[in-house]
Each structure stands twice: as C-alpha cells, then as structure tokens.
Amino acid sequence: MTLDLSSRRIQARPPLAGVKRGAASQDALKGLRLSHVVVPLKAALSDAKVLTGRQTPLVQFDLLVVEMESEAGETGMGYSYTLRAGGAGMFSLACEIAPRLLEEDPNDIDRLWEKLRWQVNSLGRGGMAYQTIAAFDTALWDMKARRAGLPLAKLLGAHRDHVRIYNSEGQYLQASIDGIKAAADRSLALGMGGIKLKVGQPDGQEDLRRIDALRRHLPDDIAMMIDANQQWDRTYALQFGRIVDDLGLAFIEEPLDAADFEGHAMLADALATPVATGEMLSSLDEAVQLMRTGGCDIAQFDAPRIGGITPFLKAMNVAEELRIDLAPHWMMELQVHLAAAYPQESWVEHFFSLEAAFNERLEIADGRVAVPARPGLGLTLSDASRDWTAARHDVGTVTRL
C-alpha cells in the first residue's frame, strides 16, 4: 500500500505565532533574582493529615521568590510556595529555567507562561513544575500592574474593593474547645467575618462536640466553615454531612481525597451545605475537570499551586460560566486581588503565619479585607524574609533589585 501523492494534498501549517519575541515588543527582561526563603511558624499546625499519621505537623513553609527587572526600569516580584518538602527543588528548577526569560517582553505573560511550560514539560503537567512557573508568572503580573500604576485587582478589573475574610489559625485539631473559642475571639476582635474549624478527630463525636461548641459561641452573623483535609471516605462524609447539614455552615471543605472528583460531586448533590475543594489541584486541566464533574460548589484554587495567576484567571472564567463560588486557598496577600476580580462574592483565607514574609499588612474590618491600593501586588519582602533566605541566585544583569 502506498499513498498516491499526485492527488492528495495537505496544507502547510504556518509556524506557531508568537513563540518568539516579536517586532511589537516594548520592553525586555534583563535580570532576575531568585530566592529560596524558609519562613518559620510561631506554632506548629496539625490538621487531619497529621492525626491520620500521613504527615508531620507543619513548622515552616518554603517560598520561591522571583524578582525581576526590565530594560525600561520596571520591577516585579512574585512567589510560590511548598509545605514540608520541595523548597530546594523548586529553587533549583527555577535557576535552570530563568535564563529562558531574558530579553523577552515581560508584557507577553501568556506566551511566556507557555514558553516556561514547555521547558518543564518532561516533569509533567502540574505539580512542582507548574508551582515553580507560578513564581515567574506572578512576578510578570506584578510588573505589569506596577507599570500601569494599578493594584493587580484593578488591572484585572475589580468587582469590589474589599472581600470577605475568614480565619482558621487557632482552629486546628490539637487545640482544646476552650482554645478554639479563645482563638475565635481573637480573630473576631481583628474583624474576621468567619471562622473555619478543622475536623477529622479520630472520634467523630468529638468533632460534633467541637462544631456545636464553636457555633454556639460565635455570633449569628459570623460564618462558620469546617475542613476535613481529605481524610474521610464517601460514606462517612455523607453521614457526617447530613448530621451538620442544618447548621447553615458556609461550606464543608475537602471532605474526601482531593482527586475524588466524583465523590465530591455526590456530596455536593446530597448536601444542602456547599462543598468546597480544589486547593490541592496543580493545573488548569485538573481544575476544569473538577468543575465540569460538579465536584465543588465553591472552588478553592490556589494561584501559586495551580501555576500562577495566568491559569488561575482561566479557571475563574470556567467557574463563572458554571456559577461556582470562589474561596481561594492560602496566600491571602495575592488571592485578595483575584477574589476581588471575581463577579460573585468570594472568601479569602487569613493566616497570621503568612504576615512575617512581607512588610505590608492587610487591612481587615467588619468581616472584610481591603484590596491594597498600592501598585501591583502591593508587597515587598520583609527584612525577616531576607534573613530567612537559604539560597539566592541572579540571572542576567541585576541593577535595581
């Protein structure tokens, strides 16, 4: 069998548009500074993954920080993170791929995300590969917003200038009932609009006692959430969810394994309480699959974990189309800009532990956090973060950083 090429034609494919810096480029990256920062926590945190013996208490977190500057004198700062393991690995990978951004126009963020993605393609489409890209992507968005003189939320197109905020630190499993009440009081005094209690005690009855005690303790207008950190199975989660279904909880978070999209969809169908999940997903593909499966009433995507602001915005578009609410995970200083740019009212998650990394503090009052008015993310690395820097590497020419 041979092809008769005299009668068969296939059109030549044009080269992929935009894979190179083009004639319309307006600026060029000339230097990048990469830092691996290890931020200690004031107190160790234990969620249900620790009680099931799968993880050790969290005592620190690792930041990959990317600072960049351009020929035109613009600067940008972005970051990504990991918990327990992988900080040095992300930093090492970042050092390998950073030179690929030199001389590129930092305005072409989507194209540069694609360029980096193909650099790490062999490592997989997600995980550490994408979390490393996230730090570069966020720095590019920060630079673009600073160049425009706008807060990131305004550059994206904000729907509001403050976002609902809740706190869960102090509500971990090792705390006593008196302890969670006292921690909730401290959070409310700071203006939080909700309190999230960790669940997943070995004795489920103890979880119910803690939920009941906290709900009775909180004012009626303060939202309450619970978070099982993926440690239940479908049957237990359904039984538990039905018992607490009349409490009016704002959401039940990660009742099941993060990859059990169908199980989460079953619970979302069966319970009146909204089901929230998505924080563990590390790619746009996974996020879209979760939403299209009906696996969440509230999407908790985490911009650094999903690969940066660029894929997060694409996930937001799908969430909006499917009328899914948003409550981004962790990294509140970054997520507040994204939550403010989402059409539906969102929640941002507050952690005291994150504050030490930056010089700036979020303004919280009446259950809401103000979107910072400073250009870009509105963040600068704290002196403490400079002290906690375990490794640093410059690429290209760094003069202003």
Could you tell me which stretch among 28-36, 136-144, 224-232, 241-249 binds Mg ion (CB under 5 A)?
224-232
Please report the beta strands in 300-388, taking only residues with DSSP state E, as ranges in sequence order.
325-326, 347-350, 364-365, 368-370
Could you tell me which stretch among 83-91, 227-235, 315-323, 363-371 binds Mg ion (CB under 5 A)?
227-235
What is the C-alpha to C-alpha distance for residues 103 and 253, in angstroms, rounded to an integer?
Answer: 43
Long-range contacts at 82-85 (CB < 8 A, ≥ 24 apart):
82/128, 82/131, 83/58, 84/55, 84/56, 84/58
Token pair, residue 328, equals: 């981004």
CB of 45 to Mg ion, least distance (A): 11
**Cβ-based nearer residue to Mg ion, 227 or 260:** 227
CA dihedral 135, 141, 142, 145 (to 10 degrees): 180
CB of 198 to Mg ion, least distance (A): 8
CB of 338 to Mg ion, least distance (A): 17
- Per the annotation, the verdict on 42 as an active-site residue is no
**Cβ-based nearer residue to Mg ion, 142 or 325:** 325
**Cβ-based nearer residue to Mg ion, 227 or 286:** 227
Active-site residue among 198, 264, 337, 350? 198
CB of 18 closer than 8 Å to CB of 108:
yes
CB of 280 to Mg ion, least distance (A): 9
CB of 106 to Mg ion, least distance (A): 33
- Nearest CA-CA partner of 326 in 292, 279, 285: 279
CB of 168 to Mg ion, least distance (A): 8
Site track 305-324 with Mg ion (rule: CB under 5 A), x = hit: --------------------
**Cβ-based nearer residue to Mg ion, 105 or 253:** 253
Could you tell me which stretch among 83-91, 186-194, 221-229, 257-265 binds Mg ion (CB under 5 A)?
221-229
Q: Among 62, 227, 260, 325, which residue interacts with Mg ion (rule: CB under 5 A)?
A: 227
What is the C-alpha to C-alpha distance for residues 220 and 207, in angstroms, rounded to an integer?
Answer: 20
What is the C-alpha to C-alpha distance for residues 123 and 130, in angstroms, rounded to an integer?
Answer: 9
Could you tell me which stretch among 82-90, 222-230, 376-384, 393-401 binds Mg ion (CB under 5 A)?
222-230
Give the N- to C-terminal CA distance of the chain in Å, as an integer.
64
Please report the beta strands in 205-360, taking only residues with DSSP state E, as ranges in sequence order.
223-227, 251-253, 275-277, 298-299, 325-326, 347-350
Active-site residue among 49, 181, 329, 350? 329
Site track 172-211 with Mg ion (rule: CB under 5 A), x = hit: ----------------------------------------
Query: In 169-191, which positions are buried (b, 16+ CB within 10 angstroms) versus exposed (e)?
Result: bbbbbebeeeebbebbeebbeeb
Could you tell me which stretch among 137-145, 220-228, 332-340, 376-384 binds Mg ion (CB under 5 A)?
220-228
**CA 177 from chain center: how many Å?**
29
**Cβ-based nearer residue to Mg ion, 36 or 329:** 329
- Binding residues for Mg ion, total number by CB under 5 A: 1
Helix, strand, or coil here: 186? helix
CB of 229 to Mg ion, least distance (A): 6
Could you tell me which stretch among 36-44, 123-131, 175-183, 223-231 binds Mg ion (CB under 5 A)?
223-231
**Cβ-based nearer residue to Mg ion, 142 or 227:** 227
- Per the annotation, the verdict on 154 as an active-site residue is no
Whole-number Cα distances in Å, 365 to 63, 139, 151, 159: 28, 28, 20, 19
For Mg ion, the nearest residue by Cβ is 227
Helix, strand, or coil here: 120? coil
Total length of the chain: 401
**Cβ-based nearer residue to Mg ion, 74 or 227:** 227
CB of 10 to Mg ion, least distance (A): 50
**Cβ-based nearer residue to Mg ion, 207 or 227:** 227
User: 107 exposed, middle or buried (CB, 10 Å; 0-12, 13-18, 19+)?
Assistant: middle
Helix, strand, or coil here: 123? helix
Helix, strand, or coil here: 145? helix
Considering the rule CB under 5 A, would residue 74 count as an interface residue with Mg ion?
no
List contacts with Mg ion (CB under 5 A): 227
Residues annotated as part of the active site: 198, 329
